[in-house]
Structure formats: C-alpha cells, structure tokens
C-alpha cells in the first residue's frame, strides 16, 4: 500500500471541504443546484485522485505528465476554464434577455404614456 504525500492529503481534504461548502451553500439557497452539481462532481473527482495514489499515478502516466501534483493542477485548470466558458455563455444569454426586457418595458411605458395622455385630454375636454 502506498502512502499519501502531504500534497495529496492537502488536495484531497481541500476537495472534501469544498464539496461540503458547496452543499451548505445549496442548503442555504445561496447557490443554484445546476451550478452545485458541477462543483460537487469536480471536488469529488479531485478528492478521489487525491486519496487514491495508484489511480493518480495511472492517470498521470496515461497523460504523459511528470508529476502527480501537476495532474491535479491540470484538472483544476480544465475545470476552471470550463466553468468560465459555461458562466460566459450564461452571462451572454442573460444580457440578451435583459436587453429584450428593457425594450419591452420601454414600449409598454410609451404605450402607457399615450393612454394617459389621451385620457387626460379626453377627460379635460369633457369637464370644460
């Protein structure tokens, strides 16, 4: 049986702690479930790699990376890049929806002003 290095232990425990924080944020409704699933899956994957020395060595060797810590770092960068891309897509969609809502609100405001203006003139003409 191979022992865990200090870096593996810190990485694995950090991943477990991250998963617990994510679950707590979901419980307190501060993080949506759709985002939490990505975070929990990523932190569980890192924890598995951190706690399983043979698996980490096999993945490192298969990818042609020299050091196990670099493999974990590589997967962290891949995850961060994927999350940034995912959030950029979400932000772009929300920006488009926001612009559409602003246009719709402007049209409704204009329509309301016309209705108020027309009613004010009609009401003023009847009382005079």
Q: Is the dihedral of CA 104, 106, 109, 111 positive or negative?
A: negative
Q: Is residue 97 part of a domain?
A: yes
pLDDT of residue 34: 83
Give 40-97 pLDDT, tens digit per residue.
Answer: 888 888 888 888 889 989 999 999 999 888 998 898 899 999 999 999 999 999 999 9
Q: Is the dihedral of CA 37, 38, 42, 48 positive or negative?
A: positive
* pLDDT band with cut points at 50, 70 and 90 for residue 122: low
Q: Is residue 75 part of a domain?
A: yes
Q: Is residue 79 part of a domain?
A: yes
* pLDDT band with cut points at 50, 70 and 90 for residue 128: very low
- Name every residue whose Cβ is closer than 8 Å to that of residue 2 and which is 6 or more positions away in sequence: 53, 54
| 7-25 average pLDDT score | 89
* pLDDT band with cut points at 50, 70 and 90 for residue 1: low
Element (H, E) at 82: helix 68-127
- Name every residue whose Cβ is closer than 8 Å to that of residue 67 and which is 6 or more positions away in sequence: 60
Q: Is residue 43 part of a domain?
A: yes
Residue 29 DSSP symbol: T
Q: Residue 84: is it exposed, middle or buried by C-beta count within 10 angstroms (0-12/13-18/19+)?
A: exposed
Q: Is residue 16 part of a domain?
A: yes
Domain assignment of residue 36, given as a range: 6-127
User: Is pLDDT above 50 for 12?
Assistant: yes
User: Is pLDDT above 50 for 17?
Assistant: yes
Q: Is residue 1 part of a domain?
A: no
Q: Is residue 111 part of a domain?
A: yes
């Amino acid at each position: 049986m191979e022992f865990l290095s200090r870096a593996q232990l810190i990485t694995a425990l950090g991943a477990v702690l991250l998963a617990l924080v994510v679950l707590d944020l979901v419980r307190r409704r501060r993080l949506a479930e759709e985002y939490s699933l990505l975070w929990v899956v990523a932190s569980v994957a890192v924890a598995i790699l951190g706690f399983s020395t043979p698996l980490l060595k096999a993945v490192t060797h298969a990818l042609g990376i020299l050091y196990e810590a670099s493999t974990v770092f590589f997967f962290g960068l891949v995850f961060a890049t994927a999350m940034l891309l995912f959030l950029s897509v979400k932000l772009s969609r929300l920006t488009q929806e926001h612009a559409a809502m602003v246009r719709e609100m402007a049209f409704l405001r204009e329509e309301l002003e016309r209705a108020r203006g027309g009613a004010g003139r009609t009401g003023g003409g009847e009382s005079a």
